[in-house]
A and B are shown apart, each in its own frame.
Chain A
Amino acid sequence: MTFHEFISDRMGKIILEIIILAASSGVLFATGTQPGIITLLFVLICLIRITVLLIDFFKSRSHLMELENILSGLNQKYLFAECIPPQKTVYERKLFAIMRRSYKSMMEAVSDTEAARREYREYVESWVHEIKSPITAAKLICHGIDPEPRRRLTQELALIEAHVERALFYARAENPEKDFIIQEYNLEEIVSEAVQTYSTLLMQNNIRIETENLHHQIYTDSKWTCFILGQLLQNAARYTKSSKPDYKPRAFLYTQDSPVVTISAELPTKRQLILTVADNGIGIPAHELPRIFDRGFTGSNGRARGGSTGMGLYLCRKLSDSLGIGLQITSIEHEGTCAKLTFLTKM
């Protein structure tokens, strides 16, 4: 609050006081009081009034600043009304009581919403766990049937699995409760778990994977990292240069078009490791690159091929942000896409 604001708040009163002062001076002058005495009185009253005003100003400014400090010190700002010092005047007390009632009803609404969201998350998680049993049973049944229907069913089951996994991580990522544990892991083990998990989708698209220099330890959560890597691998498998899934690659024997994913690590500093997942697929148009992490953004590639949800990279960004992993994607259209994940190698 500036002095100007303070004064303009009280302008009406001040003008009234000046009028009263002028009127009483006039009355005194008319009744024969000497002008010197009137001037003396006038100056004296003005000085007292100005002093009182200044004291008032500094008092209310420091009071406001105190409240401001309390508010900025609070994590949950809506708890403000519960944390302020007791009020001095009846008027203030009444004001704050009204505020507190309004806060209370808002807090009830907030906690209701939070409970509903937690319940929903719990339901999604338990649903995901429930659905995994029938998928497992279906996979086991598949194992015993003829190769051709088995392969096709396995592919469909792998797609179902991938969608289910995304739903689970969506529920996890959208909620502030952190349920990951950062530990030391071997990078190679995490990469091979991710590749194995999504192997059906990768093999179906005839992808070759080359790994390089992965014998390092990193700090992360293995499940979350596996999921992130899985999304990147799925994108690599989906956006290869050959759009026909059943194409016979032997015609291209070792041309540049045969889809390859290269997973490699480098250590730019002692504490950092950069994991690169690079493919030689169709790439992303430059003007779409800034939006690839947006929720529901499918881009021209996604629309052209269909079946794109626009959730994969959005979830990657959210999860990597909560884990504290750096995630950058660069791409050259028609040449390939390269994702770089930055991990810590020391805590």
Chain B
Amino acid sequence: MPKIMIIEDDPAVREELTLLLANEGYQSIAVTSFHNIIQQIKEASPDLILLDLGLPGQDGLALCAKLRQDSEIPIIFVTSRNSTADEMAALCMGGDDYISKPYNIPLLLTRIKVVLRRSIPKAEPDYTEINGLRLNPTKGTASANNLTTELTRNEIQILAYLMANAGKIVSRADLIEALWNSKIYIDDNTLSVNITRLRDKLKELGLTDYIKTRRGIGYQI
């Protein structure tokens, strides 16, 4: 379980972020006293640091520079300062990413995942398999019963999201939100069309009613 250290002075943000990261399956440690941060980091040795630039009494950039002298722990700057100059300064000081408040939460989680994947290379299986359907997002194919079909980008993302939430009912609004976070900016109509096409393709693989409609609520695998 990757360990994420939160260095953030706003108590509400700190607590909620700790909770959120714990729910997402990370081990989160929040720094509550801002003396000796370097030492606290070294003792905890996290896999990733979320660092607020506006800490009381000290400069987040200077802290980063000091930490960079003998440590390669990935750092994501989380800050309410939103100008190009701030962003450049942060990245020049050795930050790995820069995200401005108030952030889009799925986007923050994606950034964390990307930075962690860069530093902890992990052999993830390149396919997901649920109820006899195997989705291979990198190849863009889905297969079942020894049959394979090619999927479009939209169809892959829809299927991937439904599969990641297998067993749960996913509302249309949630599905649209997830697609927007994957840079597919569709509306309600397009989603309906995509779902219909996806179902047709799955039918060709011999999977009828793989995606169930929960009338008035959403979809479910």
Contacts and interface: CB of A to CB of B under 8 A. Distances in A.
B208 interface: no
B187 A249 contact: yes
Given A143-B105, A203-B180, A259 B84 contact: no
A339 interface: no
Nearest to A135: B102
Question: For the side of the interface on B, what is the size category?
Answer: 35 or more
A137 B88 CA distance: 25
Interface stretch (B16-24, B63-71, B124-132, B137-145): B16-24
Contacts of B185: 195, 199, 202, 207-211
B187 A181 contact: no
A141 B171 CA distance: 20
A166 interface: no
B187 A221 contact: no
Contact of A132 (B102, B174, B186): B102
Contact of B81 (A129, A141, A157, A202): A129
11 contacts: A128-B80, A135-B101, A147-B171, A197-B104, A202-B180, A206-B188, A207-B187, A208-B189, A209-B185, A210-B185, A258-B187
Given A157-B102, A259-B187, A143 B20 contact: yes
Per DSSP, chain A at the interface is helix
Interface of A: 128-130, 132-137, 139-141, 143-144, 147, 151, 157, 161, 168, 179-181, 183, 192, 195-197, 199, 202-203, 206-211, 221-224, 249-250, 252-254, 258-260
Contacts of A209: 185
Contact of A137 (B13, B23, B188): B13
A259 B185 CA distance: 12
B37 interface: no
Interface string B3-23: 000000010110011011001
